[in-house]
Structure 1
């Protein structure tokens, strides 16, 4: 059974057409305390440290979550906050994983997400340790250590997100300004159980056909 935080976020995301999640701060904190204790901090390879100014800025921007949840800052500068640990498998580098994510440009729950997997009506899939166009290096790094069904928040420096280019629409509208950090909500839907692959990549279906299959929750009979 999916944990309450996952169900709440899933329902809110679908009901509000993927705009702003309907969880209040109080509900979020209550959800974070349901079920399992918070996860242990994920490990990560050491990378170039941030400048003092950039680290100070990240600390200030993450104040809302830092005041309410325990956090870990990785050597790269990615800030990790576990809202719900999850009880499923913990994927390793190279494993195929499926996750839902929302990227916020200014703060968690602030305005419209710059990107969201819910727009695809299916979790985003990739090989852990191999970032892609949507799962940026800092997102991928911050997911290491999560368990299936876990819900994690990340504060990602610009250098590990959209960099000096930022993120724009095809018409040139800025979704994330250049050199700005981003705030990412991540739910690991399939970390190794295979439940998403069973529905979204069934045997005998071509790659093109598999990409057309839809399931937000990877649960049969559910959205």
Structure 2
């Protein structure tokens, strides 16, 4: 994976079975302010399906970061972003229980394990 946080990351296709727990891997350690559970976060992110490696969403593709209260985002982000520092890049592998729920949950990504690469641009 690229370590240049000024450009869209690339995710290699994972091997083996999807994890059943949230996996958090820091690719680049940030040096700025620390995100907390109550933070509003400004992030760039890439989301891919674990099974296929297919991209399903990317702020990079839209050319604009997103800015949201962390508690409005999926549980995998609520659990996986706190402790991250601004300037960092983190990979979250999120099981369905912490993403969009089990198969048949009404969301196109229900039942899927998802990988997100998140660049933390700011916290407030």
- Could you tell me which residue of structure 2 aligns to residue 106 of structure 1? 50
Cα distance change of structure 1 residues 166 and 100 upon mapping to structure 2, 3 Å threshold: farther
Equivalent-residue separation in structure 1 for 2:60 and 2:107 (angstroms): 18
1:137 aligns with 2:75: yes
1:77 aligns with 2:21: yes
1:61 aligns with 2:18: yes
Equivalent-residue separation in structure 1 for 2:48 and 2:106 (angstroms): 13
- Could you tell me which residue of structure 2 aligns to residue 162 of structure 1? 100
Give the C-alpha shift of residue 185 in structure 1.
0.7
* TM-score normalized with structure 1 length: 0.46
* Number of matched pairs: 118
Cα distance change of structure 1 residues 166 and 146 upon mapping to structure 2, 3 Å threshold: farther
Equivalent-residue separation in structure 1 for 2:51 and 2:80 (angstroms): 17
Which consecutive residues of structure 2, in runs of 5 or more, have no partner in the other structure? none
Equivalent-residue separation in structure 2 for 1:121 and 1:186 (angstroms): 15
Structure 2 counterpart of 1:122, from 59, 64, 67: 64
- Could you tell me which residue of structure 2 aligns to residue 149 of structure 1? 87
Cα distance change of structure 1 residues 167 and 101 upon mapping to structure 2, 3 Å threshold: farther
* TM-score normalized with structure 2 length: 0.78
> For each residue in 1:162-220, what CA deviation from the matched residue of structure 2 results, as whole angstroms up to 9, or x when unmatched?
1132643xxxxxxx3x312111111101135xxxxxxxxxxxxxxxxxxxxxxxxxxxx
Which consecutive residues of structure 1, in runs of 5 or more, have no partner in the other structure? 14-19, 25-58, 63-75, 169-175, 193-223
Q: Larger C-alpha radius of gyration, 1 or 2? A: 1
Equivalent-residue separation in structure 2 for 1:97 and 1:142 (angstroms): 12
1:6 aligns with 2:5: yes
Secondary structure class of the residue paired with 1:146: coil
- Could you tell me which residue of structure 1 aligns to residue 32 of structure 2? 88
Aligned Cα RMSD in Å?
2.8
Give the C-alpha shift of residue 61 in structure 1.
2.9
Equivalent-residue separation in structure 1 for 2:50 and 2:23 (angstroms): 15
Cα distance change of structure 1 residues 80 and 89 upon mapping to structure 2, 3 Å threshold: same
Alignment of 1:196-207 (within 5 A): none
Runs of 4+ in 1 over 6 A off after TM superposition: none
